[in-house]
Amino acid sequence: MSIDALFEKLKHPNPNLRSQAMQEIAKARDENTVPRLMSILNQEDVTYRRAAVKTLGVIGAEVVPPVVASLLNSDNSTVRSSCAKVLAQIVVNHPDVPMPEEGIQGLKQALNDPNPVVNIPAVMTLGEIGSPVFNLLVETLNTTENIAVQVAILNALGSMGDSRAVEILTNLGNDKSADPYLQESATSALSRLEMVMKYNSR
């Protein structure tokens, strides 16, 4: 099947056919594949756009440089949001490959993106990366003024299964001077973290 036909398949309503096309595009890629996938990240067609995000994730770490460049420099918030999600897909598809430092630094900068469609996926991606970026998440939790980002970080800490988060979530949950919504989020993240840790220790 030609590469054009495979790209057409990324729009297919059947998710199995889309997945097949993603794998085949990743396998048959040449120097045009990544730029072509990147060019889909601003498409109105959500299915097509998500398929491009996932395909870039299947390809893996080699797409990090162009993805980070768009994450930080695109003036289109949909593109920036999609780029944060590509980095998450890389982590999911390649769990044994550490995220390149360039990817982590890009996500760190994206935490300050004024648009929640960008900064929240950036937090979620860092949550997927997990323990290697624990300190970065905690530092942002303590320094950002953005309560939505703080809540997203608490949720990420609650899902990561890193025991270092117990103290942070406990302290914030008990901090009477903190925003009540943050206190509540910390407490619910803590109970989730305890479940995750229990599950992981089995």
CB atoms within 10 A of CB 79: 21
Residue 135 · residue 104 · CB < 8 Å: no
Q: How confident is the model at residue 117 (pLDDT cuts 50, 70, 90)?
A: very high
Q: What is the band of 155 on the pLDDT scale with cuts at 50, 70, 90?
A: very high
- Check whether 85 has a pLDDT greater than 90: yes
Rounded Cα–Cα distance for residues 157 and 182 (Å): 13
DSSP-derived secondary structure letter, 39 = T
| Identical fold between 1-103 and 130-202 | yes
Q: Encode 150-189: b = buried (16+ Cβ within 10 Å), e = exposed.
A: bbbbbbbbbbbbbeebeebbeebbeeeebeeebbebbbeb
Closest to 102 (Cα-Cα) out of 58, 59, 76, 70: 70
The pTM (predicted TM-score) of the whole model is 0.92
Closest by CA position to 182, among listed 193, 192, 169:
169
In which band, very low, low, confident or very high, does the pLDDT at 82 lie, cut at 50, 70 and 90? very high
Per residue in 21-74, pLDDT tens? Answer: 999 999 999 999 999 999 999 999 999 999 999 999 999 999 999 999 999 999
pLDDT at res. 1:
80
Per domain, the residue ranges of the chain are: 1-103, 130-202
| pLDDT exceeds 90 at position 200 | no
Assess whether pLDDT exceeds 90 at residue 80: yes
**Residue pLDDT, tens place only, 161-182:** 999 999 999 999 999 999 999 9
pLDDT of amino acid 202? 85
Is residue 138 over pLDDT 90?
A: yes
* Nearest of 105, 133, 121, 137 to residue 41 by alpha carbon: 121
pLDDT at 201: 87
Tokens 């890009």 correspond to: 106
DSSP character at residue 178: S
State the architecture of 1-103 in CATH terms. Alpha Horseshoe (1.25)
Q: Which amino acid is at 124?
A: M
Helix (H) / strand (E) containing 196: helix 180-200
23 CB neighbour count, 10 Å cutoff: 12
pLDDT given for residue 153 in this prediction: 98
Spatial distance between the Cα atoms of 59 and 80, rounded to a whole number of angstroms: 19
What is the domain class of 130-202 according to CATH? mainly alpha
Return d(Cα 103, Cα 38) in angstroms, integer.
Answer: 16
Q: What is the pLDDT of residue 139?
A: 97
Q: CB under 8 Å to 2, separation ≥6 — which residues?
A: none
